[in-house]
Structure 1
């Protein structure tokens, strides 16, 4: 029997469930050269509350309406920025990441935006290669907006290796 999933907005009370999903998803980094990410703390409830206030949180919920994945997005540089995408590994490989991205893209398009950007690893197949299959293309540093540049620099300052990071952009229409 195939499990049914829905993509929806969370309730404020459900925000407290998202860090556990992020921690579980981060365990996928353990066999990679970026295993240290598995030990990083998840998003704080204050950060999640800020995304919630901006209407920038989407959930993937299972057949029991339990959250099993989420996306965080905000507007930077006059485009949608996908800040985070996590799916619990027990529910991975079922298209939930793609569906969450499509929900974010639909929201961005309804707001009048044309593009979505993100920062990810260029040396892990389930990061940049997945996004490329969805229609994202790598950006040259000269294509970064001011806010994306600040976010990229903050990632590097936090310990993410610059050589392993890539900014990518896609037209929202491609992601629907």
Structure 2
């Protein structure tokens, strides 16, 4: 990550800035087969507040201390679950997403967890392949716990194509050592 970014916990006031980052990041889906995602509403302030209360929000801020990316995580099936990762496209391709994942992994390890899971698209290079390069591996349906399975089913219920989704898992030790 370039030195003009910092990963930290957000302030309460910064939560209201995160939906705009999510909307901007969603525009990256426009040229893909999942363009409809660009029109979905972002996380609500209530949703973000819940993650904040769980201690599950991290922000990347630029040199002016303005949020440019964020990660949301919680505990699912007894392990860290990366619910969302968004980086404003103006700050993409600079290692910000990788550093957000590393921050979540450090927190998870400090809490005594061993793995991080997530759900993503397997047919977009900056989704599944990005996570695979960081050390995540695809899970079979049998390897998914009941809570992760329920989240995956809820994604399908709101219109995400089941055939394009993949559950992935990585060891926190590996993610903590990302460069």
Using structure 1 for the length normalisation, give the TM-score: 0.98
Measure the CA separation in 1 of the matches of 2:67 and 2:52.
15
Cα deviation digits, residues 112-132 of structure 1 (max 9, x gap): 000000000000000000000
Secondary structure in 1 matching 2:86: strand
Question: Residue 46 of structure 1 corresponds to which residue in structure 2?
Answer: 46
Unaligned residue ranges in structure 2 (runs of 5+): none
Report deviation, 1:3.
Answer: 6.0
Measure the CA separation in 2 of the matches of 1:156 and 1:42.
17
Using structure 2 for the length normalisation, give the TM-score: 0.97
Measure the CA separation in 1 of the matches of 2:6 and 2:20.
19
Measure the CA separation in 1 of the matches of 2:3 and 2:113.
33
Superposed CA RMSD in Å reads: 0.7
> What is the 5 A alignment of 1:151-170?
151-170=151-170
Secondary structure in 1 matching 2:85: strand
Measure the CA separation in 2 of the matches of 1:131 and 1:116.
11
Question: Residue 147 of structure 2 corresponds to which residue in structure 1?
Answer: 147
Given that residues 3 and 62 in structure 1 are in contact (C-alpha distance below 8 angstroms), is that contact kept between their aligned partners in structure 2?
Answer: no
Cα deviation digits, residues 44-80 of structure 1 (max 9, x gap): 0000000000000000000000000000000010100
For these two proteins, the number of residue pairs brought into alignment is 175
Measure the CA separation in 2 of the matches of 1:100 and 1:158.
27
Question: Residue 172 of structure 1 corresponds to which residue in structure 2?
Answer: 172
Question: Residue 25 of structure 1 corresponds to which residue in structure 2?
Answer: 25
Unaligned residue ranges in structure 1 (runs of 5+): none
Secondary structure in 1 matching 2:10: coil
Measure the CA separation in 2 of the matches of 1:3 and 1:103.
15
